[in-house]
Structure formats: C-alpha cells, structure tokens
Structure 1
Amino acid sequence: MTEQGVRWTAEQVLALAPDDASRKAGARLGGAGPWSQTGGSASGAVWGLCKGSGSKPYRTVVDLSGPAYNCSCPSRKFPCKHALGLLLLWAAEGLDTSAGTSAEAPDWADGWLAERAAKAARPAADRSGRAEPADAEGARKRAERRAARIGAGVTELEQRLADLVRGGLAGQERAGYAAWEETAARMVDAQAPGLAGRVRELGTIPSCGAGWPARMLEEASLLHLLDRAWLGVSGLPEPLAATVRSRLGLQPQTDGEAVRDHWLVLAQYDTASPDGRLTTRRIWLRGLASGRPALVLDFGPPGRPPGLALPVGLVLEAEARFRPGSAGLRADLGERFAPAAPCRTAPTGVSTGAALEAYGAALREDPWLESWPVVLGPVVPIPGGQQGGRQGEQQSSATWQLADAEGTSALPVPQTGAGSRSGTGMWQLAALSGGGPLTVFGECGHRGFTPLTAWHPDSSEPVVLG
C-alpha cells in the first residue's frame, strides 16, 4: 500500500506538466535558488515564493491530496512551471512536511487551502451539482422534447447510413469530409453530441490508410446498432438503456455507486478530437482493495490542456462515483482522504486468455466498448517476424505481440490507430524486458492489446510507454 508523507519521484512530478516547454521550465525551478519562505504541512500541502521577472515573487501553493495548484503568476498553463518547480523541490527533500516539522501556512496559502477544505466538506449532493428541479413537470416536458429531437436526428442518420451502403464505400475517399461534418452538425442540433462525435470519426476513416473500407463498415454498423437501440430504448433493460443514453451524450438519470478505495493510477494520456477543438485526458485507475477498474475523463478547451493530472504510479485514497452505463467504467473522483503517495508494489496481472474473456464479458454490457483495461503478467514482448503465442504460429513482420510467459497464447499489438505503441514504445518495452517477463497495463480490444505502462519484476517503479 502506501505511507503518509512518502514523496513522489521527479518523473512523477514532471508527468504532471501540460507540455514539454512547461516540463523544461519547471525543471529549471526545481532547486532552492529562486525560492524563499517555503514550507509544508503533514496534511499534504507545500508552498513558497518564487522569484520571477517582476518586482514581487510569485505565490505558489500545492495541495498534494489533489493534486491541485494555485499560483499568482499570469500563466494559463495548469500546473504552471512554478508549481512544478515547487513539487520538484519537495520531491528532492528540499521541503520537510513530516509530522512535527510542519510550518504554519502564510495567509495567502492558508486561505486557498481553507477554501478547498470547505468545498470538500460540503455534502456530496451539493458537490455533484445535481439538484431536484424546481418544476418537475417542466423538466419532464423538456426531457420529452429533447427525446423527440434525438429521435428525429437518429432517423436522419439512419437514412444517411442507408445511402452510404446503397451507394457503396468506394467513392468515400473522393467525397471528402465535408458531408460527414454537416451530418455531425445535424446531430448537435438534435442534442445528441455522442452521435456527433461518432459521425465525425466515421468521416475521418477514408483518410486513415490501407484497410479503411472494413473499418468504415464496422463503425457504420455500430452507429446503426446505436440508432436502433435508441429507437427501442424503452424496451431495453435499464443497465443497457443507461449505456445507450450515455453513448448518445445524455446525462445519467440517477446517481451511480460510490466506492471508497485506494486507487492506483495505472495510465494517463491525451487524445484530440477529429476537429482539434477538444483534448480528452483519459486516466485509468484500479482499486487496490476492490480490484475494480475506473476511467476518469477530463477535457481541455482549444489551446489549453485538461486540468486534472495524476502521475502514474501514485495511489489516492478517495471516493469514486461510477456513472450508470458504459460497463461500469466511467467514474468521477470525489472526496480524497489523504495525500497521494507512490505504490510500493506492481499490480497483479492475468493471462492473455483471461484478458480476452474480461473484454468479452464487458461487451455484453456495452456493445460499443472499444477496449477494456487489463493488467497482463507475466508476459514477454515479441517483435514482429518472430514466433510467439502458440507453438509454430508465425506472425507477420509488422506485428508485435505480448505473449504469456508460458508461451500458451499471445495478443497482437495494433500497429495503427489512437494509442498505438508499436514504434518507440514497443522497443522501449522490449528493452525493459530484456527477453524476460514483465507486468504490463493497457487496453484490450477487438484489434489487440495497446500497452500503456510496464513494470519490471525487480522494481515497483512504473515505466510509461511513449
């Protein structure tokens, strides 16, 4: 598990940086030189004044239980270089926050920390932002009107998909993206943002290289399935109906289950929307007591990274509230009960066969689920062109695999698509392995296994695969 006050590593601090420029600037501020009036508390906060270009130093404070940051600098990056530098100073034991040595926070830091504490102390219902509508009948009518608009949008999309199949896929490369963007805009007008996102992804497939017709047909089929599910949503079992509503972009009608646990941060990475207007940060967690996986999403507007950042390898004692639908994966982090600290052991892995079984079971709850989070281990990375998996089975020169250490089965690593680790990341994984077994976390889906983080048997330090 973890110990109170255990410090992060410099790598875990720098993983919080929103970009390379902030990472380099923060590293330059990681020494004691520019800092004065630094201090920390055993409850998990550090603060200090950092000399800048102006006449007054910047006031910087970090709540380690978030982590959350506050700085008087004008930077729009989050965390800023001053917060990164302060955390690096703390990680290098330049600040002592152990019990009995804690300093009293200055007023400017104490005020911000007190405000965060008061917000966390509010009842969970208040923090969720969900309240009973003042006019229940009016809310019901608005929901009915929205359902009718979505129904009209779904019917229009079904006609668009029928035209696609009737006309064939061959002309889609020449047709371009504009027609699909127009269809996506119509789904936005119908108040179905989930459908709009899937339509935009469908429109980008013809420009994705070899094999695009099969991928486009797959995505069109999933869209058709979602359309039909919405048109018959009233007759579906409630868990599946909740999944359909979430896939269309509707807010859940009820609160989900709240689970308090020590949550290990397994992976964190960003993806951009097809139009580049939104950055989505995916953070994978695993409950050390419950074993339950959780996916936390955060979003950044154009020009700004998402605000939430959790370094891989840290453990948070927190409450996670799971949203209905989506195979029970999507969760929001609630109250946190202690500062985050590094995990002392690597997670326990399963075989490749068990990973496929877990993904298959999840598909029964959410047929649109592209992947399922799995910790594999022990497994051995097999470069393309070598034998792996079942004895005598030869793979193509372009395909990497992760094979069970016993050699009974293997999973291919996708060579294209979002999150692919077939290039630098796979050679990084092979170098870490040295031909021996590893523990690897990643996403298991219908195209194979995408590795994201690895652990060497002799170390509990995670290696994030680039």
Structure 2
Amino acid sequence: MVLSHGGESGRPMGPVERRTVDRVLELAPDEASRASGRALGAESAWSEAGRAGPGMAWGLCPGTDGTQYRTAVDANGSSSTCSCSAGASPCGHVLGLLLLLAADAPMPSPPGDPPPWAAQWLAERRPEASGGAASRAAAARRAARRAERVTGGAQELEQRLADLLRGGLATADRPDYGLWEETAARMVDAQAPGLAHRVRDLGSVAASGPGWPVRLLEQCALLHLLDSAWLGLDRLPGPLAATVRTRVGLTASPEGPAVRDRWTVLAQYDAPDGRIVTRRIWLYGEESGRTALLLSYGAQGRAPALALPVSTVIDAEVRPYPGGGGLRAELGQRFGEPVVTAAPPPGGTAADAVAAYGDALRDDPWLDAWPAVLRDVIPAPSSDGWQLIGAADGSALPVAPSALSRPGLWKLVALAGGSPLTVFGECGHRGFDPLAAWGPESSDDVGAGAAVALA
C-alpha cells in the first residue's frame, strides 16, 4: 500500500494505523512539517471536515491568505492528497488529519459521504492501493531507504560523540552550548526519533548537580553502545536486534500468539512528552504469571483513549511486541465484563527486584527500569530521601527521585502507618518508583487490602 501526497508528486509513506499517534509523527519528513502537523491536529483548524469509517477523513484548512486547502486521507488504503504547494511530503495538513484520526477526535461535520472532490480522489486511488505484491515491494523499498537514513544519522552521531570526548566534557555545561539540540534535530532528520530523544536527555545532565560529568559520560557510553549496535545490526541475535530497532525509534507490530489470561491492572499513569501524552498501563496475568505493558497516546492535550482503573481484572488477549524483554503488548479481544479485585499479585524482596532488573539489562542494556512487586516492605526516611525496607530481611531500595515530589509518596507512607505492605512499581538504576500499593492486612482502615494508585 502506498501513501502519497499531492497526486503523482508525493513521497510514498507507509501504512498508518488510527490508534498510533507516534507512528503518525514519525512520518514527518522534517521538524517543520512535524510542528505544522501538531498545530493542525485539532478540529478547530478545519472546516467541512468529516470522516467515513475508522480510516477515511477529509477537510478544508484555511491558509493565512484565505486559500482553502483541500486535504483527504485514506489510512486504510494508505493514501493522501492535499492541494497545498508544500515541498515536503507528507505536508502538515495531511499529518494534522492523521492526528485527528489517531486521537479519535470529533469532526466538525457528521460521518457521511465525502464531498465530490474527495470522493473522486478516493475512487481513483483505491484500486491502486489494493495491489498486494506491489505494495509489499514498495514497503520494503521504503524500509530500506529509512534504514539508510538512520545509518547515516548514527554515523554522524558517533563522530559528534567522539568530538565531544576529544574536546572534554567540561565545555558541555556552558549556557551557550548548543550541541544537544542541533544534534537532536539531525537525528530527527535521519528519522531516528529514539536517538533524538536520548540526545536531548543529555542536555539536562550537565544541569543535574554535583557529579554531572560522571553521569554524562555514562549516558554518552550508552548512546555509543546503541549507535554501535545499530551499525552492526546484522550481527546481533534476533531478540537483541529487535530491541535495538525499537530503541532507535523504528516502529514494530505485535508478533507471536496472543496470550489470553485474567489480567489485573497494577498501575496506570500518563507521561507528557512535548505535545504528546503517553499512557502506561501495567497488567499482571493471574495464570501466565507474566507482566505486560500497554502504551497508548493522546495528541493536542487529549488524554489517550484507553483507560483501565487500578485493581480492575479483565479477561482478555494480549499480543507481545518484539524486543524490550517482551514487556510491551497490545490489548486484543476482551471477554465478559471487568471485575474488581483487592488481592495483590505475588511479590518478592528488594533484593529480588534488583536481581530481576539486572537480568533484564542483559537483554536490553538501555532499560531504565523493570516492573517489580515488593512484599512486606515499610517506607522509611533516609539521609537523602526515602527508602523501602524489607520487614523480613532488612534489604532496602531507595525511592526514585522522581517520586519524592509526588503526592503518591505521602499516600504510601500514610497507608503503611509503620506496618509492612505490598508495593508495585518500577525498579531501576535511579531507585524504586512506587506506582500502586496494597494496605496491611491487619489494618482496620476501610482501604485495607484494596489497591491505592500512587501515580
């Protein structure tokens, strides 16, 4: 399937699924088109816009000179058209309509038949979009071209890291130091958003307080490791190669058989990233004993559509994504109605959580944290914050700095009341980030035994 912009002159793009906002933004050929698409990803930017089915949309977008640009997309047929004269493809108008579909935003016009100009274009394009073999060949060519661009970006990043280390890290904390944003922009141009995100993160390390040169060197080493892994991708084992592709920023589809289970929702929280909101939902399978991570996205300040309250139990199928330790999954078919449980999942000690994170790092060296359930731990203050201490063995984990300023920490302390309790969270090199807790069984409080969301 070929998605082209502006009739015959557009650059082909890959298929776009309605539910993936990040995949839409990755189609942007440059940062200017990405910013334009974000600005136009709101219904207020369009007139006479409508949709038919989950993947078709059209609309008129007024320009600054009063011109009405005609734009239509057929995400199912993976095609688009726009009457603007933008040199980049896809243009911001096409990206804006795709973002509206991805966010399932309302359209100014009710669902129905497209206007004559859009209907004619769809009729002309759909036969072309249905050529299966030609579509697969075109998709392979697009993937190869993108891989070449990512490789060029990785080689450039290697050179810039070498120049930084050769010149010394001391220059990186100057207020006028502009390497990070410039390099991140180059990685965006190379269609490697994962590399761009990691480069931007380096910019905050120099302002992170005493000891920043050591932390910056560590992060530069991890970035070099990722670069080297991409450049030697064909020599890596399959699971690690899939992890590298994901870390670089290439999208993947779920693969392998679906796993049906009774999944308990352990935690749900949102993490803003620019103008995109990422929702992370952690599930625990009662029969399979596996933990799964669901990711969903919202655009233009909209909350992601998927919402699963903590302690909800759903009978459903999930399909895992490749790489990343097999944590990320896609929620599939659900069966029956959800129920609520107060029972916490099985857990272990602080030492068990650290060991599990260490094992996971062998498969994914760029992993920031790993899910863990701690049983019978007591929150207690420490010299530089808080920690969770095992009641039985005295093993302890520091609470991650990111959690110290959240109200959830004080909920955790109040819920424990000095007694052991069960906590679910993410254990990583920065400490343990508590996301949900189950109160002490001996407590007489009305919330005893019920999960309390901490994020």
Same fold (TM over 0.5): yes
Tell whether the 8 Å contact from 2:184 to 2:199 is kept in structure 1 after alignment: yes
Q: Following TM superposition, by how much is the alpha carbon of 1:170 offset from its aligned partner in structure 2, in angstroms?
A: 2.0
Equivalent position to 1:312, from 306, 310, 313: 310
Q: Please tell me whether residue 411 in structure 1 is matched to residue 397 in structure 2.
A: yes
1:454 alignment partner in structure 2: 437
Q: Following TM superposition, by how much is the alpha carbon of 1:240 offset from its aligned partner in structure 2, in angstroms?
A: 0.5
Give the secondary-structure state (helix, strand or coil) at the position aligned to 2:410. helix
Q: Following TM superposition, by how much is the alpha carbon of 1:422 offset from its aligned partner in structure 2, in angstroms?
A: 5.6
What code does the residue aligned with 2:453 have? V
2:278 alignment partner in structure 1: 280
Structure 1 stretches of 5 or more lacking a match?
1-77, 81-130, 385-396
The 2-side partners of 1:133 and 1:372 are apart by 41
Q: What pairs up with 1:159-308 in 2 under 5 angstroms? A: 159-176=159-176, 178-252=178-252, 255-273=255-273, 276-308=274-306
The 2-side partners of 1:372 and 1:336 are apart by 26
Tell whether the 8 Å contact from 1:421 to 1:451 is kept in structure 2 after alignment: no
The 2-side partners of 1:281 and 1:214 are apart by 32
Report Cα offsets for 1:350-405 as digits up to 9, x if no partner. Answer: 11111111111111111111100001001111212xxxxxxxxxxxx223111111
- TM-score, with structure 2 as normaliser: 0.67
2:417 alignment partner in structure 1: 434
Q: CA 1:436–1:212 in 2, change beyond 3 Å: closer, same or farther?
A: same
The 2-side partners of 1:190 and 1:338 are apart by 45
Report Cα offsets for 1:98-120 as digits up to 9, x if no partner. Answer: xxxxxxxxxxxxxxxxxxxxxxx
Q: What pairs up with 1:287-366 in 2 under 5 angstroms? A: 287-366=285-364
The 1-side partners of 2:333 and 2:250 are apart by 25
Give the aligned length.
Answer: 323
The 2-side partners of 1:449 and 1:142 are apart by 41
What code does the residue aligned with 1:343 have? T
1:59 alignment partner in structure 2: none
What code does the residue aligned with 1:284 have? W
The 2-side partners of 1:432 and 1:319 are apart by 33
Tell whether the 8 Å contact from 2:342 to 2:451 is kept in structure 1 after alignment: no
- TM-score, with structure 1 as normaliser: 0.65
What code does the residue aligned with 2:427 have? C
Q: Following TM superposition, by how much is the alpha carbon of 1:189 offset from its aligned partner in structure 2, in angstroms?
A: 1.4
Equivalent position to 1:401, from 373, 387, 394: 387
2:376 alignment partner in structure 1: 378
The 2-side partners of 1:338 and 1:182 are apart by 51
Tell whether the 8 Å contact from 1:421 to 1:450 is kept in structure 2 after alignment: no
Q: CA 1:374–1:451 in 2, change beyond 3 Å: closer, same or farther?
A: same
Tell whether the 8 Å contact from 2:171 to 2:177 is kept in structure 1 after alignment: no
Q: CA 1:333–1:421 in 2, change beyond 3 Å: closer, same or farther?
A: farther
Report Cα offsets for 1:40-79 as digits up to 9, x if no partner. Answer: xxxxxxxxxxxxxxxxxxxxxxxxxxxxxxxxxxxxxx99
Structure 2 stretches of 5 or more lacking a match?
1-102, 106-130, 442-447
Tell whether the 8 Å contact from 1:371 to 1:443 is kept in structure 2 after alignment: yes
Give the secondary-structure state (helix, strand or coil) at the position aligned to 1:345. coil
The 1-side partners of 2:248 and 2:104 are apart by 32
Report Cα offsets for 1:227-267 as digits up to 9, x if no partner. Answer: 00001010110010011111112123772342111111111
The 2-side partners of 1:205 and 1:133 are apart by 48
Q: CA 1:315–1:133 in 2, change beyond 3 Å: closer, same or farther?
A: farther
Q: CA 1:326–1:177 in 2, change beyond 3 Å: closer, same or farther?
A: farther
Tell whether the 8 Å contact from 1:400 to 1:422 is kept in structure 2 after alignment: no
Report Cα offsets for 1:177-196 as digits up to 9, x if no partner. Answer: 74322211211211111111
Tell whether the 8 Å contact from 2:154 to 2:227 is kept in structure 1 after alignment: yes
Q: CA 1:237–1:339 in 2, change beyond 3 Å: closer, same or farther?
A: same
The 2-side partners of 1:154 and 1:446 are apart by 26
Q: What pairs up with 1:34-183 in 2 under 5 angstroms? A: 134-176=134-176, 178-183=178-183
Q: Following TM superposition, by how much is the alpha carbon of 1:173 offset from its aligned partner in structure 2, in angstroms?
A: 2.4
Give the secondary-structure state (helix, strand or coil) at the position aligned to 1:381. strand
Equivalent position to 1:443, from 423, 426, 429: 426
What code does the residue aligned with 1:412 have? P
Percentage identity across aligned positions? Answer: 57
The 2-side partners of 1:353 and 1:422 are apart by 25
Tell whether the 8 Å contact from 1:343 to 1:460 is kept in structure 2 after alignment: no
What code does the residue aligned with 1:288 have? E
Tell whether the 8 Å contact from 1:133 to 1:139 is kept in structure 2 after alignment: no
